[in-house]
Amino acid sequence: MTQVILFNLLNGLIVGAFYALMALGLSLILNLSGVINFAHGGFLALGAYLAYSLMPTIGFWGALLLAPILTAFLGLAVERLLIRRLYGRDPLYSLLLTFGLAFIFQDGLRYVWGAQSVPYQIPGWLASPLSMDYFFLTGYRVFMMIVVALAVAGLFLVLGYTRLGMRIRAGTLDLDTVSVLGVNVRVLRNLNFGLGIYLAGLAGVLAAGMLGLSPTIGDQLIMPSFVAIIVGGLGSLPGTLVGGLLIGVAAGMTTVFFPTATEAVIYVMMALVLIVKPSGLFGDEGRLR
Amino acid sequence: MTTLKVEGLNTFYGKSHILHDVGLEVREGEIVALLGRNGAGKTTTLRSIVGLTPARSGSVHIFDTATTDFPSYRIAALGVGYVPEGRRVFPNLTVEENLLVPLERPGPWTLKRVYELFPRLAERKSNKGQQLSGGEQEMLAIGRALLLNPKLLLLDEPSQGLAPLIVRSVFEVVASMRAEGISVLLVEQNVRAAVEIADRVYVLDNGRVVHEGAAAAFAADEERVRELAGAKADAFDEFD
Ligand SMILES: Nc1ncnc2c1ncn2[C@@H]1O[C@H](COP(=O)(O)OP(=O)(O)OP(=O)(O)O)[C@@H](O)[C@H]1O
Ligand SMILES: [Mg+2]
């Protein structure tokens, strides 16, 4: 029994880490630009497929490094060419745009890489268990946790200690004032979008090694990521991080005791949070921008 | 070279026509006061100049550049500092982080110099913006604008809600901008304090410029000052 609990706890933590990585990117974009990016899952899938295609030439490590960066560049272009035009308009417009983009992504991926899942290889030594008693504790799982932790730490360092990060945080509450201080807010929003997409791409590269890779890989992650944001509290990135881990673990533990409720539990959690503390665990006002 | 020249500005909020053919000028090294009652359109004028509420017609020239259609950040990057109404300090950032947000234009103003000008900010540099008193927020908003190394500074009611003693020191800082080679456009309800440091004044009423002239002559016209200063005149005697 301990084994089963530990197994699902670890699973939950890892899945939660993916939710968190996705949700942090979604939050960055939502907070600074007021855009709910439904195409986030598409970017995640693209990151994974790019890694898949790059691996034969530059290997797993090269792909891990390069695929998220390439994905981020595509994010910069999408923001620059499409999303930027809708800032300041009714949020419905950007919602429709990103919703449409999500479909375009999925069909584009199908077109290029096929609808079936593809074999996604991780280095053999990473795939083997670290211990006989805890067979599920593979090197890859530990490795994923480390990479996610590094990415999250890196994100918080950038936001906390660089001018770029300070401007992003300032702009989250008052972009006009950031602009009158001479900061090019178009570039700021563009970079911020790219940063969010980088996290999605990275999540994709990692997740494909665990969940397998098909064009719909983003689908199973995006709704829980929105839930993570709401549970953690709109506008709070630490909240988003905690929210992601929390619902991941909750879903993992539910698998042990009520397997049939696994899918539902995160929505139940969301409902509970909304009833008890509508602004989310860390949010102070539930404000959108 | 003109520092700031505004001509025939018409600005709207949705359908309501707020500014009617507003024109004004700030010459190099001048401190110009823009006065007027509540709702006269002072803030709207500044917002139109810095591109936050662009005018529907008319023109703005800053340092001989036509900035009428520029986005705010491009106007600021020319060397225009703006201290908005209500300060708009970033509440979620520390004092020091607030000071690191502005574009780094080269010039004499550094973090160190701002802390020398406002030692209080140095003491509170790790406090969040939301923890500051009104006076500290004003200092922070001015210091933040100075770190852009502006050649033109626009201030919207810096004395609002401050105790008389603090108002005095804020005005001393504004007056000292002259020696820094910074031209100033100062919006104030505190008429007496403003005319004391200004070279020239404009008076707005209902979105129109109804008076323009030398500050000294305006200050001497007690009736006019009292009319504009209204109930604030008495409160302000403490400053003299
Ligand atoms: N965002 C807005 N939407 C619609 N009307 C506005 C808006 N902001 C200001 N107004 C109106 O425009 C007019 C001018 O306002 P403005 O803030 O420029 O005046 P002000 O001279 O700065 O006044 P105060 O001394 O109270 O700051 C007022 O009638 C005000 O009600
Ligand atoms: Mg005003």
B36 lines ligand 1 (CB under 6 A): yes
Banded model confidence at residue B47, pLDDT cuts 50, 70, 90: very high
The span from the first CA to the last CA of chain B, in angstroms, equals: 35
pLDDT of A211 higher than 50? yes
B18 lines ligand 1 (CB under 6 A): yes
Could you write out the DSSP letters of every residue in B166-234?
HHHHHHHHHHHGGGGT-EEEEEES-HHHHHHH-SEEEEEETTEEEEEEEHHHHHH-HHHHHHHHTTHHH
Amino acid A125: pLDDT: 79
Amino acid A124: pLDDT: 79
pLDDT of A172 higher than 90? yes
The count of domains in chain B is 1
- Using CA atoms, how far residue A82 sits from A46, A99, A171, in Å, is 18, 13, 21
pLDDT of A106 higher than 70? yes
Sheet architecture: strand order including B57-62:
B16-26, B4-13, B57-62, B65-66
Amino acid A285: pLDDT: 53
Q: Which residue does chain B place closest to A161, by CA atoms?
A: B97
Mean pLDDT of A102-111: 96
Amino acid A148: pLDDT: 96
Greater confidence, B219 or A188?
A: A188
pLDDT of A28 higher than 70? yes
pLDDT tens digits, B75-132: 999 999 999 999 999 999 999 999 999 999 999 999 999 999 999 999 999 999 999 9
CA angle B192–B198–B199, rounded 5-degree value: 135
User: Which residues in chain B touch residue A181, judged by CB atoms under 8 angstroms apart?
Assistant: 73, 76, 82, 101-103, 144-145, 148
**CA of B224, closest CA in chain A: separation in Å?**
34
Amino acid A129: pLDDT: 78
> In this predicted complex, what is the ipTM?
0.93
How far apart CA B43 and CA B156 sit, in angstroms, is 7
pLDDT of A83 higher than 70? yes
Give the 3-state secondary structure of residue B92.
Answer: coil
Cβ distance of B73 and A169 shorter than 8 Å: no
Among B15, B42, B83, which is best to mutate for testing ligand 1, by the most ligand atoms less than 8 A from CB?
A: B42
> Considering chain A, what is the average pLDDT of its residues?
92
Mean pLDDT of B11-38: 96
In chain A, what percentage of residues exceed pLDDT 70? 98
Amino acid B233: pLDDT: 44
> What amino acid is encoded at B44 in this protein?
T
Q: Where are the domains of chain A?
A: 12-218
Banded model confidence at residue B156, pLDDT cuts 50, 70, 90: very high
- Lowest-confidence pick of A6-15, A127-136, B221-230: A127-136
pLDDT of A289 higher than 60? no
Amino acid B219: pLDDT: 87
- Enclosing H/E stretch for B134: helix B134-146
Strands B152-156 and B80-83: parallel
pTM: 0.93
- Enclosing H/E stretch for B7: strand B4-13
pLDDT of B15 higher than 80? yes
Judged by a CB distance cut-off of 8 A, whether residue B141 touches chain A is no
> What amino acid is encoded at A194 in this protein?
G
pLDDT tens digits, B160-179: 989 998 999 999 999 999 99
> Considering chain B, what is the average pLDDT of its residues?
93
A196-231 core/surface letters (b: 16 or more CB in 10 A; e: else): bbbbbbbbbbbbbbbbebbbebbeebbebbbbbbbb
Banded model confidence at residue B239, pLDDT cuts 50, 70, 90: very low
Judge whether A166 and B100 are in contact, CB under 8 Å.
yes
Judged by a CB distance cut-off of 8 A, whether residue B82 touches chain A is yes
Banded model confidence at residue B230, pLDDT cuts 50, 70, 90: low
Mean pLDDT of B18-45: 96
CATH number, residue B7? 3.40.50.300
Judge whether A99 and A210 are in contact, CB under 8 Å.
no
How far apart CA A206 and CA B161 sit, in angstroms, is 54
Amino acid B237: pLDDT: 47
Strands B16-26 and B4-13: antiparallel
Cβ distance of B71 and A181 shorter than 8 Å: no
Banded model confidence at residue A126, pLDDT cuts 50, 70, 90: confident
Tokens coding B173: 């800082």
In chain B, what percentage of residues exceed pLDDT 70? 95
Mean pLDDT of A129-146: 82
- Expressed in angstroms and rounded, the spacing between residue A91 Cα and the centre of ligand 2 is 29
**What is the residue range of B75's domain?**
2-237
How far apart CA B49 and CA B35 sit, in angstroms, is 16
Amino acid A21: pLDDT: 96
> What amino acid is encoded at A26 in this protein?
L
3-class DSSP string for chain A? CHHHHHHHHHHHHHHHHHHHHHHHHHHHHHHHHCCCCCCHHHHHHHHHHHHHHHHHHHHHHHHHHHHHHHHHHHHHHHHHHCHHHHCCCCHHHHHHHHHHHHHHHHHHHHHHHCCCCECCCCCHHHHCECCCCCCCCEHHHHHHHHHHHHHHHHHHHHHHHCHHHHHHHHHHHHHHHHHHCCCCHHHHHHHHHHHHHHHHHHHHHHHHHHHCECCCCCHHHHHHHHHHHHHHCCCCHHHHHHHHHHHHHHHHHHHHHCHHHHHHHHHHHHHHHHHHCCCCCCCCCCCCC
In chain B, what percentage of residues exceed pLDDT 90? 86
How far apart CA B162 and CA A273 sit, in angstroms, is 41
pLDDT tens digits, B136-150: 999 999 999 999 999
Amino acid A160: pLDDT: 96
The span from the first CA to the last CA of chain A, in angstroms, equals: 46
Mean pLDDT of A89-100: 94
Mean pLDDT of A51-80: 97
